A and B are shown apart, each in its own frame.
Chain A
Amino acid sequence: MSASAIRTSARGSLAALYRLLLRTQITVPRLVGIATLGALSVIIGVFARWDSDPSQAAADAVSSYGLGLVVPLAALWLGTSAIGDLVDDRLLVYLWLKPVPRWQLPAAGVLATATVVVPLAALPVAATALAAGANDVALPALLAASLAGFAYAGVFVAAGFWFRRAAWWGLAFVLLWENAVANLAEGSARLTVVGWANSVLATAPDVEVTPSAGSATVAFIVLPAVAVTGWLVATWRYQRADID
C-alpha cells in the first residue's frame, strides 16, 4: 500500500472511530443532564446581573460553577464513558482486532468528548457572562472552558481505560482534587486543570479570579498538554492491556 493510501486509510479509520464514539456517547439522559448543568449556569449569570459589580460576579460564577463544576462534570460524564463503556460492555474486542494504529481510538475518544463538551458546556459557561451583562468576560470564559474541556477530556478518557467505574473515580477527582486541592494553599492551583483555566479567565479586564495557577500564556500550553498527556497515557494503556 502506498504512503498516501495508508494516510487516507488512517484518516478514514480515525473518522470512523470518532463517529462511532460520538454515537455511543450521545444519549438523551447525558444530553439532558449536561444541558441542565449549562442552563443552571446561565441562570446564575442572570442573577449576577443585579450584583453591584456584574463583571466580577460573572467571573466568580464562571470560575466556581462553570469551570469548577459544569465543564469537568460534563467531560467526566462523556469522557469516562467514551472508552469505559466499551470496556465495561466488552466491545473493545471489535476495535482492537483491526489494523488501525493504537493511538487512534483514544484520540477519537478525546475528540468526541470535546465535540460535545464545547457546545453543551463551554458555550453556556460563556453565556453565563453574557447573561450577567459582562460581555468582556464572555470570550475569556469561552476560551477557558473550551481549553479546560479538552484537558478534562484527555484525563477522563484515560481514566476510562484505567479504572472500572471510572465515573466514580472521576467524581472524586473533580470534587476533591480539582475543587479542594486548588484552594488548599498558594501554588496548589498549579496542580489542577481548574487553576490553569482560571488563569485564562483572568485575562478578562477588571476581574480577579482565584485560585489562579499562573500566567495565561503558560495556561495555553499546559491545558492542551494535559489533554495530550491523557491521550498518550490512554494509548499506552490500550497497547498493553489484555482485551476482554
Chain B
Amino acid sequence: MAAPIEPRVVAEGVSKWFGALVAVSDISFDVGAGVTALLGPNGAGKSTMLRMLCGLARPSQGSVRALGRDPRTDTSVTRLIGLVPQQESVFEPLTAHRFVALAATLHGVPEPGAAAARMLETVDLDPTDPRKLPAYSKGMRQRVKVAQAIVHDPHVLVLDEPLTGLDPRQRADMVALFRRLGSEGRCVIVSSHVLDEVERLGSQILVMSQGRLAAAGDFHELRALMDDRPLRVRVRTDRPREVAGALLEGGTAVGVRLDGDDAFELDTNDARALAHALAPVARDRGARLFEVHPLDADLEGVFRYVVER
C-alpha cells in the first residue's frame, strides 16, 4: 500500500529575478498541514513566491517541492494543488457553474457538474445563477475563484489575497472555510497584506518584506512584537495642550510635541492602551477629537521594525 501523501511545501534557497529586479531573494521555509499566512506589503514578492510554489514560475535559484515533487515539471502534482490567483480576471463568457465545472473536468473529477454545484454552495453562491461572471460583484467572483480552487479536493491550497473585495460576513465565512480546510489536514497557504486578516487566519506566519523572509513562526509572538513597537500618532483636537498633558501624565504617551493650536504628535509604546485611553481623556477634559492618525502604522513600518529587531 502506498504511503499517504504528506501535505507539505518546501522552499530551499529560492530566489527569483526579472532582469535586474530581484523579486524574491534566498527564501527557505517548510510548511505542512494547517493554515500558514504569508504576510507582507504590496510588492514584497508574495505573489511571485506563491507562483513558484505552484510551479507557475521557475525559481531563478533554489528549489521548490510540493508534496515531495517539483510542481514545475511534474504535471501530475497539479492534481493535488489548488490556487486562487490574485488577478480579478475570469473567463467572461462563462457562468460561475461552467467555470467551476471546467476546473473539475480538467482535474478529472467524476460528475464535474454536480461537484461544481456543491462547491458553489459551499462558498454561498447559487449554482443555478444564469448570469455570466462579469455580471458578478468582485466579492462573488472571489468566491467563485475559491470554489474552482477546491473543487478537486486538493492537498495543497494556495490563496493569493483571497479576502479582497469581500464584505465582513463573507470574510468571516471564508476564514472559517480556510481554517476548516487546514484543520482537515490540508496545507493551506494564504497571502495577505492586512495584519488583522492574518490574525484571524491561523497561527503560523511567514512575513515577507522586499523579497526576503523577514520573520517566520507563531503569529501571536510576532503580533506581540509588532504591538510593542513604539508608535507615533498625530491627534487633532480643539484642546491639544490639555489632552496631550493628560496622556503624558497617565503614562500612555512617552513623549508629546505640540503642532500648532489644534494638533499634537505623541509617542506611545502601547497602541492598544492609547486606543482605550484617548477618547475618555478627551471627554473628561471637554475636548473634541477631530482626527487620530498613526504616522508609521503601515505594514512597511511594522516590517521594518520586525526586521530591525
The chain A residues found within 8 Å of chain B, CB to CB, are: 1, 9, 12-13, 16-17, 20, 23-24, 89-91, 93-102, 242-244
Question: With A95-B106, A97-B83, A98-B103 as given contacts, are A243 and B91 in contact (CB-CB < 8 Å)?
Answer: no
Question: With A24-B93, A89-B89, A91-B91 as given contacts, are A97 and B102 in contact (CB-CB < 8 Å)?
Answer: no
A-B contacts, 25 of them at CB < 8 A, read A1-B108, A12-B105, A16-B102, A23-B93, A89-B89, A90-B85, A91-B91, A93-B83, A93-B85, A94-B148, A97-B55, A97-B56, A97-B81, A98-B103, A98-B106, A99-B75, A99-B76, A99-B78, A99-B106, A99-B108, A100-B106, A102-B75, A242-B56, A243-B57, A244-B51
Residues B41-66 near A (CB distance < 8 A)? 51, 54-58
Contact A13 B106 (CB under 8 A): yes
Q: Tell me whether B229 is interfacial, beta carbon within 8 Å.
A: no
Contacts of A95 in B (CB 8 A): 106
Q: Top 10 A-B pairs ranked by shortest CB distance?
A: A98-B106, A99-B79, A242-B57, A243-B56, A23-B93, A90-B87, A16-B105, A89-B89, A9-B108, A93-B85
Distance in angstroms from A16 CB to nearest chain B CB is 5
Contacts of B85 in A (CB 8 A): 90, 93-94
Contacts of A101 in B (CB 8 A): 75
Contact B108 A93 (CB under 8 A): no
Most buried by A among B51, B91, B106: B106
The 0/1 profile, CB within 8 Å of A marked 1, for residues 92-110 of chain B is 1110000000110111100
Contact A98 B107 (CB under 8 A): yes
The 0/1 profile, CB within 8 Å of A marked 1, for residues 66-83 of chain B is 000000000110110101
Question: With A23-B93, A101-B75 as given contacts, are A96 and B56 in contact (CB-CB < 8 Å)?
Answer: yes
Contacts of B92 in A (CB 8 A): 24
Distance in angstroms from A88 CB to nearest chain B CB is 9
Distance in angstroms from B209 CB to nearest chain A CB is 23
Q: Tell me whether B90 is interfacial, beta carbon within 8 Å.
A: yes
CA distance A12 to B112 in the complex (A): 11
Contact A243 B51 (CB under 8 A): yes
Distance in angstroms from B110 CB to nearest chain A CB is 10
Contact A97 B78 (CB under 8 A): yes
Contact B107 A99 (CB under 8 A): yes
Residues B126-173 near A (CB distance < 8 A)? 148
CA distance A103 to B91 in the complex (A): 21
CA distance A23 to B105 in the complex (A): 16
Q: Which residue of chain A is the closest to B101 with respect to CB atoms?
A: A16
Contacts of A97 in B (CB 8 A): 54-56, 78, 81, 83
Q: Which residue of chain A is the closest to B104 with respect to CB atoms?
A: A16
Contact B105 A93 (CB under 8 A): no
Distance in angstroms from B160 CB to nearest chain A CB is 10
Q: Which residue of chain B is the closest to A12 with respect to CB atoms?
A: B105
CA distance A20 to B91 in the complex (A): 9
Q: Which listed residue (A91, A93, A242) contacts B58, Cβ 8 A? A: A242
Contact A90 B89 (CB under 8 A): yes
Contacts of A20 in B (CB 8 A): 91, 94, 102
Contacts of A99 in B (CB 8 A): 75-76, 78-79, 106-108
Contact A24 B107 (CB under 8 A): no
Contacts of B106 in A (CB 8 A): 13, 16-17, 95, 98-100
CA distance A12 to B103 in the complex (A): 12
Distance in angstroms from B120 CB to nearest chain A CB is 16
CA distance A89 to B242 in the complex (A): 57
Contacts of A89 in B (CB 8 A): 89
CA distance A94 to B56 in the complex (A): 10
Contact A91 B90 (CB under 8 A): yes
Contacts of A23 in B (CB 8 A): 91, 93-94
